[in-house]
Structure 1
């Protein structure tokens, strides 16, 4: 967290950073590239924990960004190849 930034602002920045990562992964997968998604679970879990620790009044404005992130994760899931059998 940068000095002077609120926990909500830092959390919003983390949401946007993860959103960018998911966008990039989706773009790479869409062009046939393989991506390593290891670590995304931990990053998402940390983000969820950070949001859960915020007061409701601080967390509520993050909802649109979280919903956009969830839609992007769904989009990534839709373009991932099935696991090998």
Structure 2
């Protein structure tokens, strides 16, 4: 039987990235409509996502590069909105 643990780990990290993207999408929408947002705890979640991605074998981590780049782009965009 083949060990699917690295693939399952990669899939779990990808799911966490997608969940964070969803959270940031909601935060962005709230800001655009003049609502206050509370980002407490998000930095800890990002740290956990990054640590989990770093724990993956190199090939699996590389497979998440685009997902992580999109998350970074989304984060930078939200930061720019908050500074306005």
Decide which of 15, 25, 30 is 1:13's aligned counterpart: 15
* Runs of 4+ with >6 A deviation: none
TM-score (norm 1): 0.87
Aligned residue-pair number = 79
Q: What RMSD over aligned residues (CA atoms) do the two structures have, in Å?
A: 1.4
Decide which of 33, 36, 41 is 2:35's aligned counterpart: 33
Extract unaligned runs of 5+ from structure 1: none
Provide the residue aligned with 2:59 in structure 1.
Answer: 57
TM-score (norm 2): 0.88
Change (3 A) 1:51 1:57: same
Extract unaligned runs of 5+ from structure 2: none
